[in-house]
């Protein structure tokens, strides 16, 4: 307790620096979830994707990142073990942030899309289990997260496979793809409007004091979807294309329509991602600030100091601008060749999986969801369309994320203890 009283300001400053580092890592690695497919399919250039993601990720993080956050992410550890020694929780949260951020830096440099959520969870488990007690960890929750490695990519892969194949059969494999696009694209726009509205409500706006219930959320989503579909129908029917042009030209024109859809889905996913995943950086930071300000008392939830959300938003934007292109390249071009229609199928499948997982209470990694969706699109074209070497590296990086995060966190935890005690 004396450590909190005597070194509180120093600990908060250290936590702020490593929190910024963690937010930087989220921007460098995780933002590819929202933008990688758009860049890979050439719907957006890297520069355009970075500008759009900067705006919507920061808006999501700052506007909807939450006024109050759980002091311990995902309920992974039992706070009762730290009541008599709150400084251990402060050391642990700083160590977890530093460990997760370090791993994200390495993974981003290698172009590996890893889960920022799993990075911070692994780090928290590490310091709690070894530095405090194995009983301090809620192992059932950890088991659920490990299970999500298989479940969420599988769900999103199946949905992407279905969406892509339906577009092929209804539009691309017909004699008049443009006419079929005018007929069926509004349906895809309805589906996209519905799913993205739910993602925004469940992930993007849940932190704001709107109190939107499940039934109301679905009603708003349906209304939004109808409006989007009607706008899309008017827009598509106004497009003038040469009906006598070569079939290849028709395909290219249909892809342009899907490219516009992709930009909309990318913006919505970026906003939802910024609002949701910024908590991986600011949750542990807010916990440290709360413990120090309350002289060692641990609250289940803590109000976020005014400077924390902008810090998280700024870190995400900086990481994206400086290092985001590496993971974007892996998601967008490394796994399989993407066109706008394929990228749209992958992004919509990822968004659908986020909605399904949120409704079912499943722990989810947006990274793994999107990679699964891109794999599903690739599988629809046959196993030869997938770069198995890249997939192997990605899977290995997923498996080692939890243990590496845990190992680094233990090391940093011992260093913190040695420095302050």
Please determine, for residue 310, whether its predicted confidence score (pLDDT) is greater than 80.
Answer: yes
pTM, entire model: 0.87
Q: Concatenate the DSSP letters of all residues of 356-375 into one string.
A: HHHHHT----HHHHHHHHHH
- Per-residue pLDDT tens over the stretch 38-60: 888 888 888 888 888 888 888 87
- Per-residue pLDDT tens over the stretch 242-264: 767 777 787 888 888 888 888 88
Of the candidates 292, 303, 244, 232, which has an alpha carbon nearest to the alpha carbon of residue 69? 303
Distance CA 311, CA 125 (A): 25
**Nearest 5°: phi and psi at 137?**
-95, 135
Tokens matching residue 411: 């090391």
- Residue 163: what pLDDT? 93
Distance CA 126, CA 121 (A): 9
Please determine, for residue 68, whether its predicted confidence score (pLDDT) is greater than 90.
Answer: no
The per-residue pLDDT of the chain, averaged, comes to: 85
Please determine, for residue 208, whether its predicted confidence score (pLDDT) is greater than 80.
Answer: no
Please determine, for residue 99, whether its predicted confidence score (pLDDT) is greater than 70.
Answer: yes
- Residue 154: what pLDDT? 92
- Per-residue pLDDT tens over the stretch 291-304: 888 877 777 666 67
Please determine, for residue 105, whether its predicted confidence score (pLDDT) is greater than 90.
Answer: yes
Residue 207 DSSP SS3: coil
Please determine, for residue 269, whether its predicted confidence score (pLDDT) is greater than 60.
Answer: yes
Which of 24-28, 65-69, 74-78 reaches the highest mean pLDDT?
24-28
User: What's the alpha-carbon Rg for the chain, to the nearest Å?
Assistant: 22
Q: How far, rounded to the nearest angstrom, does the alpha carbon of residue 274 sit from its chain's CA centroid? A: 8
Mean pLDDT across 143-150: 78
- Residue 207: what pLDDT? 56
pLDDT band at residue 407 using 50, 70 and 90 as cut-offs:
very high
Q: Between 190 and 286, where is the model more confident?
A: 190
Q: Which residues in 1-117 belong to E strands, given as ranges? A: 68-70
Please determine, for residue 20, whether its predicted confidence score (pLDDT) is greater than 70.
Answer: yes
Tokens matching residue 220: 């708003």
Q: Between 208 and 388, where is the model more confident?
A: 388
């Amino acid at each position: 307790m004396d450590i909190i009283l005597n070194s509180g300001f120093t600990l908060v400053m250290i936590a702020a620096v490593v929190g910024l580092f963690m937010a930087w890592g989220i921007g460098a690695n995780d933002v590819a979830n929202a933008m990688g497919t758009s860049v890979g399919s050439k719907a957006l250039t890297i520069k355009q994707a970075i500008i759009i993601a900067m705006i919507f990720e920061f808006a999501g993080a700052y506007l909807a990142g939450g006024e109050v956050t759980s002091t311990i992410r995902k309920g992974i550890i039992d706070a009762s073990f730290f009541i008599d020694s709150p400084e251990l929780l402060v050391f642990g949260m700083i160590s977890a942030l530093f460990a997760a951020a370090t791993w994200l830096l390495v993974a981003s440099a290698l172009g590996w899309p890893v889960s920022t959520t799993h990075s911070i969870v692994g780090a928290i488990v590490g310091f709690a289990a070894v530095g405090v007690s194995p009983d301090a960890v809620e192992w059932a929750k950890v088991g659920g997260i490990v299970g999500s490695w298989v479940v969420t990519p599988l769900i999103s892969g199946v949905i992407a496979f279905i969406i892509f194949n339906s577009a092929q059969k209804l539009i691309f494999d017909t004699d008049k793809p443009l006419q079929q696009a005018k007929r069926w694209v509004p349906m895809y726009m309805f589906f996209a409007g519905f799913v993205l509205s739910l993602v925004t409500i469940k992930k993007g706006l849940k932190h704001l004091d709107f109190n939107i219930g499940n039934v109301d959320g679905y009603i708003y989503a349906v209304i939004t979807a109808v409006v989007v579909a009607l706008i899309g129908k008017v827009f598509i029917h106004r497009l003038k294309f040469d009906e006598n042009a070569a079939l290849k030209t028709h395909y290219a024109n249909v892809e342009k329509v899907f490219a516009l859809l992709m930009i909309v889905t990318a913006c919505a996913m970026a906003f939802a991602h910024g609002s949701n995943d910024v908590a991986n950086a600011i949750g542990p930071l807010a916990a440290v600030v709360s413990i120090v300000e309350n002289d060692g008392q641990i609250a289940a939830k803590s109000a976020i100091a005014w400077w924390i959300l902008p810090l998280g938003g700024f870190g995400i934007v900086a990481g994206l601008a400086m290092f985001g292109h590496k993971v974007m390249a892996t998601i967008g071009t490394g796994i399989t060749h993407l066109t706008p229609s394929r990228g749209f199928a992958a992004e919509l499948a990822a968004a659908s999986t986020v909605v399904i997982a949120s409704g079912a209470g499943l722990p989810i990694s947006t990274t793994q969801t999107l990679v699964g969706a891109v794999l599903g699109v690739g599988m629809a074209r046959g196993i030869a369309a997938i770069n198995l070497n890249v997939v192997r590296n990605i899977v290995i990086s997923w498996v080692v994320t939890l243990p590496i995060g845990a190992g680094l966190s233990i090391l940093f935890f011992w260093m913190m203890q040695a420095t302050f005690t």
